[in-house]
Structure 1
């Protein structure tokens, strides 16, 4: 419905219900409507009505119970005569341009249950209207938020408001002073909204006695001191906003007991110490913001317990350590920021599995390694920033990376990529060759250390080569044949397992892969392909170098595979001792370093 409201509606002398909300009505509300004494409910909300509400000061509206005027463009002074509607239970004039003082005569509306005055230009120098509302013993909802001309302090008379009060909203009203402890008297409160004021002092501990409280919003004030432990008793609390205050001391560990929490917003305070390990017990948490504090230490190792979280902001703290691998379990995560901390290590390749990510900020840390190409799979990633780290290698150019500018990558001197990013070209790709060489050396060097430890452990457990009868059955593919057939354990069985694991490392195939059966095993594949060009079946990343280094890599891999074949022969007495295996691997390592020119 569009157009204006016809004046003739005022002629309907027996009209009881008038519902014209959620339309496209414009112009003023005809004053004649309020001459209909039979009216019980009037609804004009969510239109584009304008002008002032001219009510006759002698008007009593004896039967009016509900008046909805919210979300219009009405202005002018507060309609004082509305206080004559003694049966009124609901008054909503929110989201308009009403001005003038909120009348103390609202206390005459003793049946009032809901009063919504938010987002207007109303005034009240000492908020005296609040004391008048103590006469409204059935008041459940009180909202006078976003009236910037209101000023003053909240007095202890707050505690004398209706026992039925469920919602108290007074954000953005220039309220000064402390939060009255008398809020604790309002035992049925479900929500308190006092954010964006000038409140000082500490959070009163009495709020911890409001057992029905589900939402507490005190952000953007000047509150000091700790979070009182009494808040941990609010076992129905789902929303806690303490953002942008001067709160300090460690975050209470007992907050982890408030398992009803869905949003925990503690940013821009002075909280210190580390994140309490108990917080990961908040298994239904959706939004967590701890940014801009003085928090230290590593991120929780069991961060994956926040399985349904959609937004996490840890930026602007002093967190250290690596990014926990548990982040990959956060499949619903859309926003993640670790900006401006001391995070080390590499960006996990598993981040490519966070398919819901829309914003990822890892800037201003000490991250190293390459930017994982797996991130190209993140089709919803609109914002990406890894600037000012120690990253190297090629910047991915697929998926969302086509849309990023140099701002996402600057401050990483060893990155290379497309010319549009103003970084060096990757034609020679020195970082990738270096990585391949390091990887190859690691394949040879690590088994030397680990096998020595294995030998020592086996000597202690099995007393060198003594044979022990057991009921242990073989794990298919990895354990020696004699394990499954006879249940015999020996050090030679561990030599066999080492050989299989070495093949798996180089060939990038598991002995349990579907391609293997009774006719074909990982060992038989290696034995048949060993004389051929290894790069046709092996790890292509390992053998991606060229020229002299390519030959060195092939030679080394062939030598290691030959040792693996010797370790995995069927007969235990034909397998070499682990000491000889270590000696052979050391020689292969020395030859590799000589061939690539590092010794």
Structure 2
């Protein structure tokens, strides 16, 4: 158990308390038991013994009691989601508790949210008055209570700064000064901005008067408001005016994965070197995010554009999947499409032929990213001509001539004296080839990909 790095048992209808025995998992980094029926308190032993924890998601359970102060001592813990439980008492205002926003604690009526700075900033008293008003109205008002509830939620979201004005974003970016420009494309530009409270954000401004940009804006808003996962970029606010539409997102100081993966071919002095362990971690994090979209969201969400440019890296080089402008929400995980969705080189064969949009299309795109991470060859490289694909090129040399296809930075990790490196590289290439199978039903699910990558974690412990 000390070798376990991730536990994800979300949406399994689990009952009972959280076992204290889990505290023996000294190497545990990711812990997700959300959307179950767990009861009891949050063990204080987690904060005392699980020093490697980075993410905890216990949302949508029946947990109760006080929030343990011991969690505030976990220096590596970055994300904590305790929303929609029955926790009570004050919220500690130190450590990871102080770093979270109010969404991490919503749905716990007996928590003292107003005692923290962000609780006051987000109108804790207003929230209590809303709940009190509904309680006074009583059951006799049920016929119109739903409408009132919607109005209160809308008011609360506005009060929580979920909506911003163009002039607010103009001030944040110094009138959209070019020196704050992070990147641009056919559908818009992304700026670095600073909000009045000093928070640094990324402001994605859509190109005006373009129906395609408007569609992407609506789709990205709808998708990001439905999801919550530590490896997905988080929406902070939005702005929708007659001639101006923008999204305010978390700022990722290390840019996108493509910049670091292809640092030798891209003029980027700030690009970081990616060792084998870092590449595995990033691939694992991407897989967890996509698996969440496919298996934990209802309806399932197909990203449709998984590629290195759509993967952002935070200050600790942790992956966050972004760019949901062409995402597809589908009830049965498949939908007919008449338009080509995705980026050339990453689009699954069945999508390119106008077939059904399905989760297996994302699996194919992810497989291309896996192969690109190990070979450092883009699927659009001029060497792939006359119908040759990155997947076919790898398969021609796999597994007997790995040095011919593995990136120069990784060559030293393979060979008879390389230890785990050879097995890891070979395993990742095999995973990439499986994910890029021509037939969708031959590809693994993203849940299976996560399980396989998780099992490889022992190589690094």
Which TM-score band applies after superposition, normalised by the shorter structure?
0.3 to 0.5
TM-score for both structures, normalised by structure 1: 0.28
TM-score for both structures, normalised by structure 2: 0.35
Query: Over alpha carbons, which structure has the higher Rg?
Result: 1
